[in-house]
Structure 1
Amino acid sequence: MWLILPLKDFVKAKQRLSGCLSISERRALFQHMVEDVLAQLSAVDEVDQLLIVSDDPAAHLLAEHFHALCWPESQLGSGLNAVLEATLDRIASLEKPPQHVMIVHGDLPLLSAAELRDLIAVQRQASEQVVIATDRHGGGSNVVLMPLASRIRLRYGEGSLAAHTAEAAARNLPLQVFHAPGLANDIDTREDLLALVSAGISNRAPQTMRYLSESGIARRLLQMNPRECAAVEPPRVVRS
């Protein structure tokens, strides 16, 4: 199995957080989240090859540190779906392509290797099925695991889970939705960040949580919106 981690330019990442974080803070936050994600991905023994797709120089350095391949995004196309389709085509053209591919995103600092192993175990119950870990709102596709030879067309964007479900149905492929707290908590909005800060989880996302604390972002967010923070439902994470 190959695991693919697409990473946009770190400077342009997390634009929806521009109302509460500066450009430099958004870049640093994204890099720390990616480091936490890669630490967990590299601990999944079922993965034969970890592949980062990005043009950002920091991504290339992270690939070296975590013994991953790094393919330049600019050589594969424009836009997430087109880039990933080209990535899958290139993987499929290898002399010995993997049977399955998993696509994970870099804004899931609370994910755990255990959750990914559970997702893989579900997929192995029927090797031709597609398994998608959705977000906490039930509409996104935070992790997609599927057979490479009979893969679905990728439809990332708003309502991607419904779009991917339709693609699987069109190809007569079974699709199962997987629910796991760490895989569901992507950090896209100020509300997501407030929930993460309010949770104060110390045994997950060590790089991310340390950065939020040492940079003063956590304190600033809590001071700015104490009532809103109290109303935000913290991420549900099974402590391990």
Structure 2
Amino acid sequence: MIEKFVPRSMKVTALLPVKGFRNAKQRLSLLLSAAEREMVAEAMFRDVLEQVVRARGLAGTYVVTGDDRVADIALSRGAKIVREPAENGETAAVDFARSRLKEAGHEAVLIIPGDMPLVRAEDIERLLAQVPEGAAAPFALLVPSHDRMGTNALLLSPPDIIELRFGYDSFSYHMKQVSAQGLPIRFIENDRIALDIDEPKDLEQLLAYDQGGEALRLARRLLAGDAENRRRSGGL
């Protein structure tokens, strides 16, 4: 259920698109079994959600999903659910949810995927600090992935100010959409937000960090036993 939002001053609603864990992260299959990938996907979502709900200044947190397990975890941390009718990909999920949020009066959304295990509450608060004070004004703020091929966070007001298309080269696409709306180009680079886990090289980057949450600890445990074999076979 989408709650009506009546702002006193403009705030931002967090929106996390999360699909079911069972078939997640197929590109990690060279390193992890299906069961291990499921565990890692869930751990990453828990890490991201924990930091989002801790962040100060959000009007609320919503998770768009069609999966019962994801919904149960989200509800247990105080997030609200936008129930996706069917899993048709990240773009379709976000489009569905942001239209519902806009209809309910939410002026701005911060779209944060659930596979960025290093993100911290302070990273989110730095993004929120970019929101103009006072009356709502159209704006868009983007955070790219490390290679600038992906878009790892978007702060949008109104929620549907630009057309979205996640996937390959999405950052360039979204920048063009911002320009097409006549808005100034705004983006912030943040190393922790920039790291999402899709491929073996992403896990390698994750393991290089000293501090992290449940996903980092799990990845270390899963990969520690046969790290040498993985290196010899071209993995980590």
One of 206, 209, 217 as aligned partner of 2:223: 217
TM-score (norm 1): 0.85
Alpha-carbon RMSD across the aligned residues, in angstroms, is 2.2
Aligned-partner residue type, residue 91 of structure 1: L
Query: What does 1:1-240 align with in structure 2 at a 5 Å threshold?
Result: 1-74=12-85, 78-94=88-104, 97-124=105-132, 127-148=137-158, 151-197=161-207, 199-201=208-210, 203-205=211-213, 207-214=214-221, 216-221=222-227, 223-225=229-231
Q: Which moved more, 1:182-191 or 1:140-149?
A: 140-149
Considering Cα pairs closer than 8 Å and 6+ residues apart, tell me whether 1 or 2 has the greater RCO: 2
List gaps (5 residues or longer) in structure 1. Answer: 233-240
1:226 CA drift (Å) = 7.0
Q: Is contact 1:88-1:148 (8 Å) kept?
A: no
1:64 CA drift (Å) = 1.8
1:13 CA drift (Å) = 1.0
1:156 CA drift (Å) = 0.9
Deviations along 1:133-189, whole A, 9 cap, x unmatched?
Answer: 111111211000010266111111111011111111111122311111110111110
Q: Which moved more, 1:187-196 or 1:142-151?
A: 142-151
State the alpha-carbon separation in 2 of the partners of residues 13 and 3 from structure 1.
22
Aligned-partner residue type, residue 176 of structure 2: A
Q: Which residue of 2 aligns with 1:237?
A: none
SS of residue paired to 1:12:
coil
Number of residues paired by the alignment?
A: 223
Q: Is contact 2:140-2:157 (8 Å) kept?
A: yes
Identity of aligned residues (%): 26
List gaps (5 residues or longer) in structure 2. Answer: 1-11
1:48 CA drift (Å) = 1.3
Compared CA separation, residues 194 and 28, structure 1 to 2 (3 A): same
Aligned-partner residue type, residue 209 of structure 1: L
